[in-house]
Amino acid sequence: MRALRISLILLVVLGGLFVIADRVAVGFAEDEAADRIRSTEGLAATPDVSIGGFPFLTQVVGGELDDVKIGIKNYEASTGGTDSAAGKIRIDDLNAEMRGVVFGSDYSSATANSATGTASISYAELLKAAKSEPTEVGFGITAKVVGLSDGGDGKIKVAVSVTDPISKKAQTLSVLSSVAVSGDKVKVHADSLPKLAVQLAEGRIRSITDFQQKVDQLPGGIKLDKVEAAPDGVDISVKGTGVRLVG
């Protein structure tokens, strides 16, 4: 009986030491992965990396991690522009969950079988894609987009400033717009057009109210999936397969 009690105590102690070693190892791996992702993606700040599943050490032996979560603040995605400043759009929060992460024997590369996540872009950032300079839409009338906000029910409220050539006074009209993903672009399309004092060609008005923003070169090659309006901006779902984390 005494021998059994001693054996149980040893098992508990060894189990506790294994858990401690496992948690130390996963903490080191998370820090190392965060540094490598920062270097690979050219990030300004180190991302948050969380490796799920237990025990971690047995996953390493198997060469595949069950689940890895990554969080990046203020990520600058490409808009395809040639100018270095105009060719970027800031994503406030980019979070991705990678599943089935397989890494090379020397741990210099890691690729996830699949990934899903979310990204958020503020209305101020999205506004950069709209025409914010006065543009003639006909009969000397000029218009420009002056603001974007949450319109409720998944819509974006687009504020358009319209100036007529006679009074030179501007009035602000609002239109509710739908937002959708098309390939690597976020598209904003007015559900109905504002009623102006004179009848204008729909195409000219839509050249102001409707616009799109390319969001490209996301980490690891993940792609846009869906988008919806939110109180402070648009929330985007992203996904990918064969997503490269490092290497």
Q: What is the pLDDT of residues 108-153, one digit of tens each?
A: 778 999 999 999 999 999 998 888 788 888 788 888 899 999 999 9
Residues 13 and 33 in one domain: yes
CB 77 within 8 A of CB 92: no
Residues 13 and 120 in one domain: yes
Residues 132 and 32 in one domain: no
Residues 6 and 107 in one domain: yes
State the alpha helices, DSSP H only, in the chain. 2-41, 56-62, 123-127, 202-209
Q: What gap in Å lies between CA 76 and CA 91, rounded to an integer? A: 6
Range of the domain at 154: 127-214
149 or 220, which is more confident: 149
What is the average per-residue pLDDT within 95-112?
84
Please state the domain count of the chain.
2
Selection from 97, 90, 89, 44 nearest residue 71 by Cα: 97
The predicted structure's pLDDT at residue 177? 96
The predicted structure's pLDDT at residue 247? 63
Residues 91 and 142 in one domain: no
Quickly state the pLDDT bin for 19 (edges 50, 70, 90): low
Residues 108 and 20 in one domain: yes
What the block records as the tokens of 102 is 């397989």
Residues 49 and 121 in one domain: yes
Handedness of CA 56, 58, 61, 65 (dihedral sign): negative
Place of tokens 């007015």: 190
Enter the pTM of the model.
0.84
**Count of all residues that appear for the chain in the document:** 247
Residues 75 and 141 in one domain: no
Percent of the chain clearing pLDDT 70 (strictly above): 84
Q: Look up residue 216 and give its DSSP letter.
A: B
SS3 call for 209: helix
Quickly state the pLDDT bin for 4 (edges 50, 70, 90): very low
Quickly state the pLDDT bin for 84 (edges 50, 70, 90): very low
The predicted structure's pLDDT at residue 105? 66
